[in-house]
Chain A
Amino acid sequence: MLKTRVIPVLTIKDLRLVKSIRFGLYRNIGSYISAVKVFNARNVDEMIVLDIDASKNGLKPWLITQLTKECFMPLTIGGGIKTLKDIRTALKLGADKVTINTAAAQNPEFLNEASSRFGRQCIVASIDVKKVAERFEVYSNNGKRQTGKSVKEWAKEVEHRGAGEIFLTSIDRDGTMQGYDIELVKIVTRSVSIPVIASGGAGKLNHFVKVIKQGGASAVAAASIFQYTDITPNKVKDYLAKFNIGVRV
């Protein structure tokens, strides 16, 4: 049976591992490379690494090389993926998937091109969402720009254009550890048939169960909980197993 994945997310800013709250208030929490080593040693299912500076300054091939040398698990790279060449570089250096956000918001056709060139299995559409006046609005540019699209229509569009997976983050819940936005996740998982990785808000073990059972998420991503508490991805999986959710142990 296909396992539900538990995915740590690492965010890099100024070459330090950081954690944000609602996409702001970045806190420096240490060395990203030691975090990668720890998660690899803990045998995690998969990892997502986002380089925030890359959106301004471009992809850093040396950084990807540094990460993939430590990482014998699926690795998704995000931040600054704007061209087919960027994707090619990331994959060539050992990344398995790339997340695309701003570049797709600016030019949705980019998803079609990326997917037909590299296969949709490595194209992850990252969708950042904020609730504005009771509507789930899609944001790009690291949460700074409102795209005017509703999450439901955009999720369907990215699937249609060839994304193989959706990495769905609630900006409102990011770093709050108050639980995933189940309503948001449900809207997206019911609108598409590709896997949805839920992100933003994990703070307790039962948050994971809820977003899988009620939200329909195929995978759960989290950051703060693994940095600020003694809960590890393995603890999460042991807990999920108690609720008959298939995990890799």
Chain B
Amino acid sequence: MVLIFATGIGNVGSVKNALDFLGVKSLISNDRKNIRKADHIILPGVGGFGEGMKALSRSGAIETLKEEVLVKKKPFLGICLGMQLLADFGEEGGVNKGLGFINGRVRRINPGANLALPHIGWDDVIVKVNSVIFQGIDSPVFYFVHDFFLEAEDQTAVIATCQYGENISAAINKKNIYGVQFHPEKSQKSGLKLLRNFVTI
């Protein structure tokens, strides 16, 4: 079973729809028992960093999540804000502490004078490391919608980037932990393929 972590603020519905479409059994929950039972964990998310961490704390499941991901090494995928929350801290709406799974900070994109923010739309993803999650995706164009991104301290954790005025991390990976800044659940065939790749890890 794939657990879609119910943050209360994320777009959990669309991740569930995508997994249903793929015929993958999933459950939207933040119940500790369910987190322990899950084979894969997805942390979706839209919205601000501070609100996101607050929602995670409210769930009372952060410790369980840490145990399942860091100790038991369950495959974990953070999507958009769900990826950002993996950082040590975020700068959106004041400085807020993150989960600290990936060392780094979440900061606003500096796109330069000619590009609009938020970074909204379909953009080219440059795959740096031939990761299992990108397997079989010939044309990696994904849907992004964000102002902030995770700037990782360890650049080897950045497995894909996107050029938007500056190089932003599009996907990260450290052991069993994956994160994507774009929305696979909204990126049509390429996105569905990525989700399929993740759940078959």
Q: How far is the CA of A118 from the CA of B46 in the complex (A)?
A: 7
Q: Is A119 an interface residue (CB 8 A)?
A: yes
Known: A68-B14, A72-B17. A118 touches B120 (CB 8 A): no
Pair B117/A2 contact, Cβ less than 8 Å = no
**CA gap between A226 and B188 in the complex, in Å:** 20
- Contact partner of B11 (CB less than 8 A), chosen from A91, A116, A117, is A91
CA distance A73 to B118 in the complex (A): 18
A-B contact count (CB 8 A): 115
B147 touches A193 (CB 8 A): no
> CB distance A194 to B118 under 8 Å?
yes
Q: Across the interface, do A164 and B118 meet the contact criterion of CB distance under 8 Å? A: yes
Asked if B21 and A94 sit within 8 Å, CB to CB, the answer is no
Contacts A72-B192, A73-B188 given; indicate if A3 touches B121 (C-beta within 8 A): yes
The residue that B145 contacts in the complex, of A1, A96, A116, with Cβ under 8 A, is A96
The answer to whether B12 and A2 touch across the interface, beta carbons within 8 angstroms, is no
- Is B46 a contact of A74 with CB atoms below 8 Å? no
Task: Report the minimal beta-carbon distance from B80 to chain A, rounded to whole angstroms.
Answer: 9
Name A's interface SS.
Answer: loop
The size class of the interface chain B forms with chain A is 35 or more
- Within 155-200 of A, Cβ neighbours of B (below 8 Å) are at 164-165, 193-195
CB distance from A146 to the nearest CB of B (A): 29
Report B-chain residues with C-beta under 8 Å of the C-beta of A46: 121, 143
User: Which secondary structure dominates chain B's binding surface?
Assistant: mixed
Compute how far the CA of A46 lies from the CA of B14 in the bound complex, rounded to whole angstroms.
14
Q: Chain B residues with Cβ under 8 A from A193's Cβ?
A: 116-117
Whether A122 sits at the interface, judged by CB under 8 Å, is yes
Listed by A's residue number, 23 A-B pairs whose Cβ atoms lie within 8 Å are A2-B122, A4-B121, A43-B188, A69-B17, A72-B17, A73-B187, A74-B145, A74-B183, A88-B9, A91-B9, A91-B46, A94-B11, A94-B17, A96-B145, A96-B186, A116-B48, A118-B47, A121-B118, A122-B46, A164-B145, A165-B120, A194-B118, A195-B120
Which B residues contact A (CB, under 8 angstroms)? Answer: 9-14, 16-18, 20-21, 46-48, 51, 81, 93, 115-124, 141, 143, 145-147, 163-164, 183, 185-189, 191-192
